[in-house]
A and B are shown apart, each in its own frame.
Chain A
């Protein structure tokens, strides 16, 4: 059987502001509807319940923002990427803007790391925060089947901290490979009750050479 031609386009987008209160599942639904509104020639899956193809590099957790994020869509026609950008950005929610669209240079599975900026409302100083992460970083990880204590320090590629506007700004590069994803919330969890409030922004998705996933 001949499947119709399809062309994968990568959409670079942001999830910011109040969109951080939206779960990944709700985000997926919102973007699917935006894709339909865009009128782009979407390639539908060929199953019993056809739906437009939409693949995220890495879901953004609720309460987190993302400034450099990507999802891939499949089209039936090879359109100029600028056209995809224009049509889609006209119909996306304002807190989920599209930055650009391009034909992918790398595969999504080349994703290895993600970088973050975490603002911590805390009485700890930047040095104190960093020193907490000096040795083993053991946190309680919950999955569907079990809860276990894990040392996440091997998944922390780099970490720096500084004071900013009365808060501590923690910059981190964490593992984001499909089999070793570290949610940045564990860094905040690790600091425990000493953090009153935190705000996490994912600033980039990176490959194994710490180059942007583009």
Chain B
């Protein structure tokens, strides 16, 4: 892009390279030859957004169309935003430098609830009316997708169309429809009705909600005939066949994941009851080692990165991991490329890898027991026993490692103080295990425990359970602090107030759009950044718009209540989730999908995991 008009600004802001584009691999198209201009916006900083694989995949699919040019846009940091507003520079796209208000389609990916204010603020900074109802024919179509779109309601006042599920195929269908309608002068309202007919596309303005006196939802229905009552998520069936970008922009700035990323498989066989990705990404679909190896080689050739990271929910559950690693080691050792296997289980295969391959790295040794006692691990269906954890630690210690990290969660359903104490004693047993034998490290063992707070998420068995209040979470955090006596154990925990806000929006309904708009008006942004999160301002916002945030976060929701996201279907049935919620309260576990099919609903939608995963 031509940066002349902002050169004075760029001289005054931090990290100007965030705002100029021009990286190696940047995709430039001839403006005069494209019919549809699209800006793909990531509502956080460049360094975070550039690392997002989903956005990279979708832009790749969209840009394969000659008639369309999909550019990038990230949220400017506060210093840049202030300069842009002062100098009257609206939000622009990084490739062309053109104002996104002049684009045809503005797309947002919603990866976490605390980026909602950024998304709305980006519209405002672009000079685009934030409310969908205020955008006439002359304004861009504003769409959104990503994991948070599974409960699109809090953002529904701002977005014209939500894309639910995996967008590789359906976003392209939406773009085709847009092009067709633009050519034929179809009005926005008619376009939206047609869009609602594409699988996974949800048009919030075509539905109306009514509420009971207690604030719960009474009814949610389409305003007119022909609009589907429920929106079924889209997903691709053949991962080997779907397009995967093996060349992309090479950021100058150091991004969060500054390496090659290889998507190994989608979905998860595990069924942890707090995990939304574990439900909404079903069914499990694997790529073949042949495809992955070929993609990794291409990526290496095109990027020059010297590390490749495997991306999926649980790498150890990839059925052909050994085959894949063996294939890749044939060239990665020679080329000095490191293979990193995040969150790999410490089992015999892991030990074997450590012995034979110097350039397979584990990005730090981590375990995620999530809960401190077996009872509570059964409640959350985390099928990991203390014995397995200790055996893994022992193997790691024997292999010369002396530092490890444990992840836990506070505020899980049925959690008692004994469960909190259990976290400390588990960590202590690991320390004791280290010293039960003479080991080499002069500094001794280091166990760090990191504790987050449960955010009950839509489409999980825990969606009906209340979140602990911030006060109660703090009490538990302090209790755990008291229980830790060894100086070999370090302890960190998340701010319960941040998790509270996440829970409000995770389980929120349409009325929350007013709170988001007000918060943006008051200058709230980058809520996921500690230095800019402002709890007191948020509480003032809720009071001003007359919303009780505890209604969303801390309330026990009845199984028979209408949920704000009931009109969205992720393929897993509500009956299954209720069954799992009840089993959780009884402390009964559910086996993983490979061991036995639990009938979650995906078995009718092409899932073949329990039959060995063969393609249909």
Instruction: Report whether over half of chain B's contact residues are helix, strand or loop; otherwise say mixed.
Output: loop
* Alpha-carbon separation in the docked complex, A37 to B335 (Å): 11
Q: Tell yes or no: B34 within 8 A of A by CB.
A: no
Interface size on B, residues (CB 8 A): 25
- CA–CA, A46 and B272, complex, Å: 46
Specify which of A29, A50, A95 is in contact with B254 (CB 8 Å cutoff).
Answer: A29
Closest to B258 in A: A29
Residues 75 to 118 of chain A near chain B (Cβ within 8 Å): 91-95
Interface string of B211-252 (1 = CB under 8 A from A): 000000000000000000000000000000000000000101
Which B1-26 residues sit within 8 Å CB-CB of chain A?
Answer: 1, 3, 7-8, 10-11, 16-17, 19-24
- C-alpha spacing A17/B2, complex, angstroms: 9
A50 B336 Cβ-Cβ under 8 A: yes
A33 and B252 contacting across the interface, CB-CB below 8 Å: no
Which of B48-56, B300-308, B433-441 is the interface stretch?
B300-308
- Asked if residues B252 and A27 are in contact (CB atoms below 8 Å), the reply is yes
Rounded to whole angstroms, the CA-CA distance of A56 and B10 in the bound complex is 26
Task: Tell whether A36 is near chain B: CB-to-CB under 8 Å.
Answer: yes
Q: How far is the CA of A19 from the CA of B21 in the complex (A)?
A: 9
In the complex, which of the residues A30, A63, A92 contacts B252, with contact meaning CB atoms closer than 8 Å? A30
* B20 and A21 within 8 A (CB): yes
Report chain B residues within 8 Å CB of A26.
Answer: 17, 252-254
Question: In the complex, what residues of B have CB within 8 A of residue A18's CB?
Answer: 1, 3, 20-22
Which of A19, A37, A50, A92 has the most chain B CB atoms inside 10 A of its CB? A37
Tally A-B pairs: CB < 8 A. Answer: 63
Contact A36 to B252, CB < 8 A, known contacts A21-B16, A91-B24 = no
Contacts of B8 in A (CB 8 A): 196-197
- Which residues of B have CB within 8 Å of A30? 24, 250, 252
Q: Are A33 and B10 in contact (CB under 8 A)?
A: no
Q: Which residue on A lies nearest to B16, using beta carbons? A: A21
CA distance A64 to B305 in the complex (A): 27
- Residues on A with C-beta less than 8 A from B19 are 21
* Mask: chain A, 53-67; 1 = CB below 8 Å from B; 0 = not: 000000000110000
Tell me if A32 counts as interface (CB < 8 A to partner B).
yes
Q: Which of A32, A34, A35, A44 contacts B24 (CB 8 A)?
A: A34
Question: A167 — which chain B residues lie within 8 A by C-beta?
Answer: none
8 A Cβ contacts from B170-209 to A: none
Q: Which B residue's beta carbon lies closest to that of A36?
A: B304
Complex formed: what's the CA distance from A196 to B11 in Å? 11
* B306-338 Cβ-contact flags toward A at 8 Å (1 or 0): 100000000000000000000000000000100
Partner of B302, one of A19, A37, A93: A37
In the bound complex, what is the Cα–Cα distance between A17 and B306 (angstroms)?
28
Which residues of the partner chain A approach B22 to less than 8 Å between Cβ atoms? 17-19, 93-95
Mask of A19-31 contacts with B, CB within 8 angstroms, 1/0: 1011100110110
CA of A17 to CA of B20, assembled, Å: 10
User: Which of B17, B21, B305: most chain A CB closer than 10 A?
Assistant: B17
Complex: how many Å from CA A121 to CA B303?
39
> What residue of chain B has the Cβ atom nearest to residue A30's Cβ?
B252
Which of A21, A35, A50 is the most central at the interface, judged by chain B CB atoms within 10 Å of its CB? Answer: A21
Q: Which residues of B contact A50 (CB under 8 A)?
A: 336
Residue on B nearest A196 in the bound complex, by CB: B8
Given contacts A21-B17, A33-B305, A95-B22, contact A197 B252 (CB under 8 A): no
- Indicate if the CB atoms of B17 and A37 lie closer than 8 Å: no
A93 touches B24 (CB 8 A): yes
Q: How far does the alpha carbon of A26 sit from the alpha carbon of B50 in the complex, in Å?
A: 15
Least CB distance from A169 to B in Å reads 17
Q: Does the CB pair A33–B11 fall under 8 Å?
A: no
Task: Give complex CA distance A93, B17 in Å.
Answer: 14
CA of A39 to CA of B254, assembled, Å: 23
Q: Which of B16, B250, B254 contacts A33 (CB 8 A)?
A: B250
Inter-subunit contact A32/B304 (CB<8 Å) = yes
B159-178 contact mask (Cβ, 8 Å, vs A): 1 or 0? 00000000000000000000
Chain B residues positioned under 8 Å from A62 (CB to CB): 16
Question: With contacts A18-B3, A197-B8 known, is A33 near B303, CB below 8 A?
Answer: yes
Q: Which residue in B11, B250, B302, B304 is a CB contact (below 8 Å) of A63?
A: B11
* Contact A92–B7 (Cβ < 8 Å): no
Chain A nearest CB: distance from B1 CB in Å? 7
Tell me, rounded to whole Å, the shortest Cβ–Cβ distance linking B409 to chain A. Answer: 36
How distant is the Cα of A22 from the Cα of B7 in the complex, in angstroms? 14
Q: How far is the CA of A5 from the CA of B301 in the complex (A)?
A: 25
Kindly state the separation between the CA atoms of A27 and B23 in the bound complex, as whole angstroms: 11
Closest Cβ–Cβ distance, residue B197 to chain A (whole Å) = 42
Mark each residue of chain B from 467 to 511: 1 if its CB lies under 8 Å from any CB of chain A, else 0: 000000000000000000000000000000000000000000000
Q: Which of B17, B23, B252 counts the most A-chain CB atoms under 10 A from its CB?
A: B252
Determine how close the nearest CB of chain B comes to the CB of A86; give it in whole angstroms.
17
B449 CB to closest chain A CB (Å) equals 30
Distance (whole angstroms) from the CB of B275 to the closest CB of chain A: 35
Contacts of A94 in B (CB 8 A): 22, 24
Nearest chain B CB to A172 CB, angstrom units: 20
A93 to B304, CA, bound (A): 13
Contact yes or no, A22 B252, CB < 8 A: yes
User: Residue B10 contacts which of A21, A27, A35, A95 (CB distance < 8 angstroms)?
Assistant: A21
Q: Are A44 and B336 in contact (CB under 8 A)?
A: yes
Closest to B302 in A: A37
The docked-state distance in angstroms from the alpha carbon of A94 to that of B16 is 18
Chain A residues with Cβ under 8 A from B11's Cβ? 63, 197
With A18-B21, A33-B305 given, name 7 new contacts (CB 8 A).
A18-B20, A18-B22, A22-B17, A22-B252, A23-B17, A27-B252, A94-B24
| 8 residue pairs A–B, Cβ–Cβ below 8 Å | A18-B3, A21-B16, A26-B253, A30-B24, A37-B302, A63-B11, A91-B24, A95-B22
B residues apposed to A, CB below 8 Å: 1, 3, 7-8, 10-11, 16-17, 19-24, 250, 252-254, 301-306, 336
A-B pairs, top 8 by smallest CB distance, nearest first, are A33-B304, A36-B304, A37-B304, A21-B16, A93-B24, A18-B22, A18-B20, A26-B252
